[in-house]
Amino acid sequence: MKRIILGIGLLAFGLTLAACGTSDQDTTKSEGKIQAVATFYPMYEFTKEVLGDAGEVKLLIPAGTEPHDYEPSAKDIATISDADVFVYNSESFETWVENIEDNLSDKNLVIEAADEIELLDLETTSEDDHDELEEAEDHDHEGKDPHVWTDPVMVKAQVAEIAKELSERYPDQKATFEKNAANYTKKLDALDQSYQEAFVNASNKTFLVQHAAFGYLAHQYGLTQESIAGISPDQEPTPARLAELKHYAEDHQVKVIYFEENANSKVAETLAKETGIELMVLNPLESLTKEQMKEGETYITVMEENLTALKASIK
């Protein structure tokens, strides 16, 4: 049904675009700068870091919005079409991208940041997860985990991909893109080193989260992620799954249950209350709030906060 609605939206978009001519956004573009649109916050920051002063980046999915269920409006598609560069994570996350590609022209450079990354398979630890895996396959996730950005090593690959694609399209600015990417990669290297040092000698490497967004981070640093919900934060576990998790927490001496500020934490709170376990925030970085962005928080600072939080569980 979503695709039918989207198809109607695309038709309306085409008619609207033909009638509108130059939009207000065109008049506010900085002369000579590359205009980019990135889907959600991590893609926004990575693109901004690589472009530097050579371009301007617009965040497509508004701050504080859950990107899992996002579908672009006709206005959003117009914004993408009007840009020089469009950056997204992968078709396993932004499943709607393939539906709008026919509306883009040769002038639109489309970059799939995770294009060179082999995505992990979704893990199934319960009947709930099995059901969601089937649902993910039905919605073109193809049973793959798209949350690559929670692992700073994978982010380095994404930054490299963005820099490569920009350099091929704008070869006269290749040196700038490569320098900017190298500078940001140094920050990611330092972040990676901090995570390695924190967990290399840990005896307990299990952590319990609200939804399964940290599979790549767990895989990278030899940790075990157990989730209340599956790949989507909106999935609610069955009573049987909650009972299973309660026993899991007891058997593994879980000290912390991690929840998300931008998602419904009711189930995590219920489980914490029943087990007497502490609640802490672990941010999957699918979105930052306007307040966080205004206060200067970034992918790096939030990942540092996540590391501090994880240390409460993994010792």
In the chain, residues under CATH classification 3.40.50.1980 are 2-13+30-127+147-189, 198-310
Per-residue b or e along 169-179, where b marks 16 or more CB atoms closer than 10 Å to that residue's CB: bbeebeebbbe
Q: Which strands, in side-by-side order, build the sheet including 34-38? A: 55-59, 34-38, 85-88, 109-112
**With contact defined as beta carbons under 8 Å apart, do 87 and 113 qualify?**
yes
> What per-residue confidence (pLDDT) applies to 314?
87
End-to-end, the C-alpha distance of the chain in Å comes to 47
What is the per-residue pLDDT across 246-257, written as a single tens digit (0 to 9) for each?
Answer: 888 888 888 899
Tokens 């820099």 identify what position?
A: 163
> What per-residue confidence (pLDDT) applies to 233?
63
- pLDDT reading at 46 higher than 90: yes
- pLDDT reading at 100 higher than 80: yes
Decide which of 3.40.50.1980, 2.40.160.40, 1.20.900.10, 1.10.240.10 is the CATH code for 2-13+30-127+147-189.
3.40.50.1980
What is the per-residue pLDDT across 159-191, written as a single tens digit (0 to 9) for each?
Answer: 999 999 999 999 999 999 999 999 999 999 999
What is the per-residue pLDDT across 57-79, written as a single tens digit (0 to 9) for each?
Answer: 999 998 878 888 899 999 999 99
CATH superfamily label, 198-310: Nitrogenase molybdenum iron protein domain (3.40.50.1980)
> What per-residue confidence (pLDDT) applies to 282?
94
pTM for the complete prediction?
0.84
From the CB of residue 25, how many other CB atoms can be counted at a distance below 10 Å?
13
Nearest CA to 280 among 263, 268, 270? 268
